[in-house]
Amino acid sequence: MPLDRRAGRFARCIQCTRHDRSLPVRSFSTTAPARLEVLDSQTPAEAAPPPPAATADTPNPNTKPRARDANTVSTPAAEGQLLRNQRTTPVGSRRRRAAIASTGSIPFSQLPYQCFQEARAFLQVDRQEKLEHIRMQRQRIENLKLRAVPPQDEWIKENRIRDMKHRLEETKIAADMNDPVVKRRFEDGEGDLNKPIYRLLADRQWRAYRRKVLVQRITTMNVIPDVLPAIEPIVSTTLTFAGKRVQHGDFVDSRVSELAPSMTIQPYDKGPRLYTIAVVNPDVPDVEKDGFGYRCHFLASNIEITPTSTKVLLHKLQSETQVVLPWLPAYGQMGAPYQRMSVFILEQPKTEDGAGFQRLDAAKTRAEEPRYSRREGFNLLSFVDRFALKPVGVDLFRTKWDEGTAGVMQRAGIQGWDVEFKRKRVEPLPYKRLATVRYR
Amino acid sequence: MIKAPSTSLLRAFSPLWRAESVPWVARGCIAQQVHFSTAEQRMARKKGMGPKTDMRITLIRYHLQHPLTPRPLRFSRTRALRHWTIHRAWRLYQNKLRLTRQLELERQYNSMNAACEALRLMDGDGLTQEERSKLGAEIEGSNDMGRLYRIAMKKDDGVRADAVGKGVPIEYARIQTETPPRDGWNSAWTR
C-alpha cells in the first residue's frame, strides 16, 4: 500500500484500519494529486476493480503500466514502478520531486521567495545603472577618439583610450556578474564564450586548478627552462590521441602517438587570432656530446582559433600553407631515458595596422630558412625570436621504449630502431686504505 | 597508606559531581544526566517514567555548549543559487552605503579644507591680496593676513567642536558676526 513517507510519524494513523475512518484524513499537501494518493491508501479493503477482460477486438488498455515521470514520482511505490518498468532512476530528492509534482513549473527567476525576489529587484536596478555607465563610457571613448590633440600628446590620448576601454570591459563584466541565471548557465557548460562574462568565468575556473597543475607539471619536468626560459600560459590546451584525452605529462604508447593528435586550444580573450603549434623533443640522446639535443616533431602555422572554435586536428591542416614540418611519431629508443614531448602554442604577431594577424609563409620557411625546416637541432627560442611569436600555451606528454616502438620507427622510416643505448661504465677510483687509527 | 588520587579534574568535568554548585533554579536539569556509555539507554526503561525533562532547559544547554564551528548546511542547486543571489545583493547594498558615507565625509572634508584655505589668504578686511590689488586699496595695511585661519588652527586653546586638550566646547563660542566689534563700545570716543 503506498505510504506517503512525508507523513512520517502519522503514517500509522492513516494506515490503521481498526478505527472508523468516517472523518476525511487531511494530507500535508492541499493539492489534488497528493490527497488522492492518501485517499487511495485509506481503503485497502476495496479491491482494485479487475481489469476488463481482453477480447480479440478491444485490446485491454489497463494492462500497460502507467508511465511515471522521473521528475515527479514521490512515493516509494511509484519509484519502484519507475525503476522496474522504465529502468530509470528518479531525479533529485523526494522532497524536490513532491514539490515539482504539486506545483506548476516556475522558471527559476520567478520562484516566490520574498528575500530572493527583493534581492533580484535590487540587482536589476543596479544592472540598469551599469548599462547606463556602459553607454556613457562608450560615448566618451568615441568623443575622445574624435578629439584632435597635438602630436606630442598623442601618447597621452592613446593611453587614456586604452584605460577607458579596460574600464568599459570591467563594467560589462560587472553588469552580469551578479546574475544567478548566468552563473547557472556557466556551471552547466552552456555559456556562450563570445560574451566576456563567460570567458572570465571560464578563465577563472581554469586558473583555479587546472592551470596550476599544468604549471607544476611543466616546472617539475623541467620543460621550462629546457625548451623556453619562461612561459605564462594564457590559453588552456587539451591533447587527444586516438579519441582519448592525455593528461599533462602522461606517458603515451608509441603506437597511439604514431598518428598526429588533435588539440583543443581555448583562449580567454575575444577575437580570432592565428597560432603556431610546435612539438619539440628536448631529450634526443647525443652520444658524441654525451648529452641531449632538440628535435622538432611537428611545426604548423596560421591556425585560426577563436574562443568558440577551438578544435585543431593536426592531421587535417593544409600541407602547403600551414604545415612546415609534418607529424613525426614520438619514439624513445631502448636504453634512453623517457622522452618529453612538449607542445608549444605560439601567438603570431599583429599586422602593422593592428587589425589582423600576420601570416607565416610555410612554403617560404621550408625553402629559405634551413634552420627551421630541419628537425634535428631545432631551437624553439630562436624560432620564436625570428618570427616575433609570443608563447601563450604549453602542453606535455612523454614517451618511452615499449613493444610497439620498433614497429613505429620502421614504418616512419626512422633509422635506429635496433639501437640500444647503454651507459658508459665508469671505472671506480682505486681504493686506497689510509693507515691511521681512525680508518681501521 | 595509599594516597587517593586528586579528584580535581573529575570535579571539574563530571556532571555528577557538579550538583553542589548548581543554583536552585536549575535543579531540574540535574536529572538529565550524561551516562557513561554513549549507547542509547533504551533497554529495560519504562516509557513515561523517569524525571520529566524540560525542553527549554535542554535547548539552552545545547546552545551554551555549542562548538564554535557551526554545522555545515547542505543546499540543493536552486537553494544555493538563491542564497548566492541574496548574498551578492546584500554585499552590493552594504558597499553602496559605505561608499555613500565615504563620499559624504570626503565632501565635508574638502569643504572645510577650502574654507580654511580661503581664511588663510584673507586679511582683516576680508580681501585676498589679489582682490586688494584689483580694487586698488593699499597693500601695506594688511598685517593680519590669515589671522582667523591661525585662530581656527589652534588646538589647545579656544573653542573646538571636539573639545580636546584645553579646548572649550564649541557650544560656548560666540558666533562670529560683523557687529558688535571686538573692541567693544568705546565710551570715551569723541569726534
Q: Are B76 and A93 in contact (CB < 8 Å)?
A: yes
pLDDT tens per residue, range A208-220: 999 999 999 999 9
Query: For the whole model, what pTM was predicted?
Result: 0.70
Count of residues for chain A? Answer: 440
Q: How confident is the model at residue A50 (pLDDT cuts 50, 70, 90)?
A: very low
Q: What is the largest CA-CA distance in chain A?
A: 116
- Exposed, middle or buried: residue A94 (CB in 10 Å: 0-12, 13-18, 19+)? middle
Q: Tens digits of per-residue pLDDT, A54-63?
A: 444 555 555 6
Reduce the secondary structure of A143-203 to three states and give it as a string: HHHHCCCCHHHHHHHHHHHHHHHHHHHHHHHHHHHCCHHHHHHHHCCCCCCCCHHHHHHHH
Long-range contacts from B62-69, C-beta under 8 angstroms, 24+ separation: none
Which position has the higher pLDDT, B159 or A322?
Answer: A322
Q: How far is A178 from chain B (nearest CA, A)?
A: 6
Contact B88 A178 (CB under 8 A): yes
**Distance between CA A300 and CA A327 in Å, rounded?**
10
Q: If you average pLDDT over residues A4-14, what whole number do you get?
A: 49
A116 touches chain B (CB under 8 A): yes
Best of A91, A108, A118, A181 to mutate (most B CBs within 10 Å, chain B): A108
| Å between A220 CA and nearest CA of chain B | 37
More confident residue, A233 or B67: A233
Q: Do A178 and B82 touch (CB under 8 A)?
A: no
Closest CB from B77, B78, B85 relative to A119 = B85
- Give the span between the Cα atoms of A361 and A374, in whole angstroms: 16
Give the pLDDT score at A254: 96
The CA distance from A109 to A92, in Å, is: 20
Judge: B92–A92 Cβ closer than 8 Å, yes or no: no
Spans in chain B with pLDDT lower than 70: 1-45, 141-142
ipTM above 0.85, yes or no: no
Within 10 A of A393 (CB to CB), how many other CB atoms are there? 24
- A308/A265 Cα distance (integer angstroms): 10
In the A/B pair of chains, how many CB contacts fall below 8 A? Answer: 41
Q: Say yes or no to pLDDT of A47 above 50.
A: no
Q: Which of A220, A180, A186 is nearest to A203 (CA)?
A: A186
**Nearest-by-Cβ selection for B86 from A108, A116, A184:** A116
Residue range A7-36: mean pLDDT, rounded: 51
Contacting residues for B71 by C-beta, under 8 A, at least 6 apart: none
Instruction: List, for residues A278-294, the tens digit of each pLDDT value.
Output: 999 999 999 999 899 99
- Helix H or strand E encompassing B91: helix B77-120
Tell me the β-bridge partners of A291: A286
**What torsion do the CA atoms of A163, A169, A170, A174 make, to the nearest 10 degrees?**
160
Tens-place pLDDT, residues A239-276: 999 999 999 999 999 999 999 999 999 999 999 999 99
Query: What are the tens digits of pLDDT across the range A31-43?
Result: 544 444 444 444 4
Say how far apart CA A323 and CA A365 lie, in whole Å. Answer: 10
Q: Do A280 and A378 touch, CB atoms closer than 8 A? A: yes
Q: What is the pLDDT of residues A111-144, one digit of tens each?
A: 989 999 999 999 999 999 999 999 999 999 999 9
**For strand A250-251 and strand A390-399, is the pairing parallel, antiparallel, or unpaired?**
parallel
- What distances in angstroms separate CA A144 from CA A21, A172, B60, one per listed residue? 83, 20, 67
Lowest mean pLDDT among A203-212, A298-307, B136-145: B136-145
Cβ proximity of A235 and A393 under 8 Å: yes
CB contact under 8 A, A180 and B89: no
pLDDT digit string, tens, across residues A70-116:
989 999 999 999 999 999 999 988 988 898 888 877 899 999 899 99
Pairing of strands A291-305, A323-325: antiparallel
Of all residues in chain A, the percent with pLDDT exceeding 70 is 85
> How close A3 comes to chain B (CA, Å)?
25
* Cis check: omega of the bond before B5, within 30 degrees of 0: no
A126–B81 C-beta distance less than 8 A: no
Q: What is the pLDDT of residue B50?
A: 81
Find the residue in A nearest to B89 (Cα): A119
Question: What's CA A91's distance to the chain center, in Å?
Answer: 26
How far is Cα A278 from Cα A330, in angstroms, rounded to an integer?
Answer: 13
